[in-house]
Each structure stands twice: as C-alpha cells, then as structure tokens.
Amino acid sequence: MNKLYQKKHELWLHITFASFAINDESIKSRLYEFSLIAFRHMKWMGTDILERGDDYNYDRNMQLYKTKSVFEVIKALQSVVTSTQALYPDTILGTRAKTDDNYLLEYLRQILADDTNNQEITAFNMQRIWNNGELDASQTDALTLFLFEELYKEYELILVYAYMQERTSNALHFNVFQDLIDESHFHLKSFGNMMAKLGILALPRELHEMTYIVKDLEKFVHDGIAEEEAAKEMCKQLSESIHEEKLSKFFDFINYQESYHIELMKKLL
C-alpha cells in the first residue's frame, strides 16, 4: 500500500501538470477534474493505510517530461495511469480507483482519436513572454520568482494539511484543514497555469519528511501564519510592481484570500 500511495501521489501530479501544460481549455479543465479525483484516491488510501496500523510518506520518483505536443502529454499520461492500475488491491477502494482510472484512459483515447487535438505545447519553451510582451524584463523576473516560490508553497501546504487532517479527530481542525487544502488547490492551479503561459512549467521540489511530520501544532500554526503574511507581502509588492491591470488585480485578489487563510489558521490556536 505504501508503494501504491507513492504511485498515486505521482499520478496526481502527472494529471495535474498535464492539465497545466495543455492550452485547450476543454481538455485542460477535464484533466484537472480527474486530478482532483486522483487526490481523493490519495486521501482514501492514506486513511486505509493508517487504519491498518501502517504509515505513508510523500516520497516520489518522477520527472516532468518537456513535451512539445498534446499527444506526447496524453501518451505519457496513459503510460503512468496503466502502470499504476497494476498496483490496485482487490478491495472496494481498489475497484473504485481502477474504474475511475479506466474512464480516464477512455477519455485519453478520445483525445488521441481526434488529430485536431494535437496542438503545440508551449509550457516548457522558456520564452517567458506574458500576453505578447506586456511585462518588461524586471516585471517578468519578479513574476517568475514569485511563481516558483508560491507553486512549491501551495504544493507543500496541500500535502501538509492533508497529512494533519488524516490524523485529527477534532471536527474544527478537520474542517479548517479542508478549507485550507481546497484554497491551496485553487492557488496551485492558478500559479501552475501561469507558469505554463510563461513557458516555465516545472514540478515543485520534493518535501522533506520534517516538513509534514508536525510534532508541535501550535508552533506549526504560528509559522504558517508568518508564512501567509510573507506571501501577502509578496503579492502586494508584485501587484504594485506589475503595470498590467488584470495581473495586478489578480494578485490583489490572492492577497485578500491569504488574509482569510490567516484567520482560518488562528482558529486552530
């Protein structure tokens, strides 16, 4: 089950980043829905592992291939889904995961059956051009740095909060963790799509186990509030430095959301 959990973690990332890489809004949206299903599988598998008296971690062994066409992305994803299916146990949960993945494979086959879907992938071209060059070099550098830092932060928070949620019996804690997980999914999606638009899409670095094995909840929450406050300041600075109104308004929007995250975390105290 621990090996399966790792493969499911990797599959969640593969589906998520495939959705970021593809420009077609219909395919992008559908794949992202499948990625959230894969994340729910992770949650259920984590619960099952803990109920058996075992444990899991967030180790992973994967690469994000710098593909140049939609069909390359889809074929690589097909391979990962198929290899993961071989590990599902003969249980109710295993059957649910396998049948969900069977439908994902069917959807991928539908994409491949239509040659008009095979569009160019620009998510890895490193051109760093936003909307036909609306940002100058310094603004582009600031946006690039922000996205790399914040993509990792959101990935980290999703996994850390999920890890802690699995281990609490306190209803308030559980609900706060769920809210924070949901919010971080939205931010991860937003920043991942922006990185793809700039041609700099990349996986966040792997988590060290000391990141998510929390032994002092109060210290963790205080540190988390400080991290959110730092993110708010980064959003504010970015909004002020980028002279592109839609982008600036977006970072104001994220800044206000971070304010509410702080209030959610204060509930944990």
Residues 185-219: tens digit of each pLDDT: 999 999 999 999 999 999 999 999 989 998 888 89
Summarize pLDDT for 106-133 with one digit per residue, the tens: 999 999 999 999 999 999 999 999 987 7
Residue 245: predicted pLDDT: 84
Six-digit token string for 157: 């928070």
Which of 167-181, 208-222, 236-250, 253-267 reaches the highest mean pLDDT?
167-181
150 has pLDDT over 90: yes
* Amino acid code (one letter) for 227: E
Residue 239: predicted pLDDT: 81
Residue 49: predicted pLDDT: 95
Residue 104: predicted pLDDT: 98
Mean pLDDT of the chain, nearest integer: 93
The rounded distance, in Å, linking the Cα atoms of 64 and 73 is 10
Residue 202: predicted pLDDT: 97
Residue 122: predicted pLDDT: 96
Residue 269: predicted pLDDT: 85
Q: Is 243 exposed, middle or buried (0-12, 13-18, 19+ CB in 10 A)?
A: exposed
1 has pLDDT over 80: no
Summarize pLDDT for 51-71 with one digit per residue, the tens: 999 999 999 999 988 899 999
The rounded distance, in Å, linking the Cα atoms of 62 and 7 is 9
Tell me what percent of the residues of the chain surpass a pLDDT of 70: 100
Residue 101: predicted pLDDT: 98
The rounded distance, in Å, linking the Cα atoms of 211 and 159 is 10
Q: How confident is the model at residue 232 (pLDDT cuts 50, 70, 90)?
A: confident
Q: How confident is the model at residue 233 (pLDDT cuts 50, 70, 90)?
A: confident
Q: What is the pTM of this model?
A: 0.95
Tell me what percent of the residues of the chain surpass a pLDDT of 90: 77
Region label for 129, one of left (φ > 0), alpha (ψ between -120 and 50) or beta (otherwise) = beta
Q: What are phi and psi of 120, to 5 degrees?
A: -70, 145
CA-based nearest residue to 100, from 85, 80, 87, 78? 85
Q: How confident is the model at residue 27 (pLDDT cuts 50, 70, 90)?
A: very high
